[in-house]
Amino acid sequence: MEPTKRVLSVQSHVVHGYVGNKAATFPLQLLGWDVDAINTVQFSNHAAGSDTTVSSLKTFVLAMLLFPECQAKAQDEIDRVIGSSRLPTFDDKDHLPYVNNLINEVMRWQPVTPLAVPHACTQDDVYRNYRIPKGAIVIGNVWSMSRNAEVYKNPEDFNPDRFLDPQVPKIPAFGFGRRLCPGIHYAEASIFITVVSILAAYTVTKAKDENGEEITPSTEGVAESVVYHPKPFKCVFTPRSEKHRELILAEA
């Protein structure tokens, strides 16, 4: 059976309820996959999403340490929209424009995949008079895009308000075209709910050394494979109030 027909066959079985109690084995039977292939796909999906999400959240915390005025502005918006009687939910997303812009700026300021994921051309192509032969490796330099001063004024600054201008594009943090990350919606939702929950419940501040002096973390990072992480740093999470502490404990 051709690969496309196999996938359609699986889809048909699922839609029409033929899978029954064989959910764990029907991919093996209908797609002809072995156990190792199934395990590899499962691991790849988890690993790809977890590593990049963790990197984004590290960068978010780093930005809150270095730009506390942005943290305060986001918390003011959350307090106005949600209040302090509950923690945020996914339903709040469309009502928190500054928080969404802050997340967009996190993605631009320190891109998770600075050189994206390399792709190979399946056929000869021409782009802006450049000939790209079949089999050539193409690398999308997301870092360079994020530092384009013609698009992002003062690109080294962390400025969520830049996205108030509808002409300013989001950085392509999840890839391009048909090879866009298939987990984009899950990743965006995970990052949003984590970021907004931290902002709602905690104030993130710099750690102090043995002399009581604040430790300012570095903005330098390290690239592990294609994923970029900030260098390890210390910080302090403090509940914003007793009421917020109670909310945290109630959700724990």
Cite the annotated binding site by residue number: 181
CA distances to 8, 19, 21, 22, 198 from 31, rounded to whole Å, are: 10, 13, 17, 14, 42
Q: Binding site for heme, residues?
A: 181
Facing residues of 224 across strands?
227
Tokens for 236? Answer: 């302090």
CB atoms within 10 A of CB 153: 11
Sequence letter at residue 110: Q
CA distances to 57, 65, 113, 141 from 194, rounded to whole Å, are: 8, 17, 20, 28
How far apart are the C-alpha atoms of 22 and 20, rounded to whole Å? Answer: 5
Residue with tokens 């056929």: 123
Residues 6 or more apart from 171 whose CB is under 8 A from it? 104, 107, 108, 111, 142, 145, 146
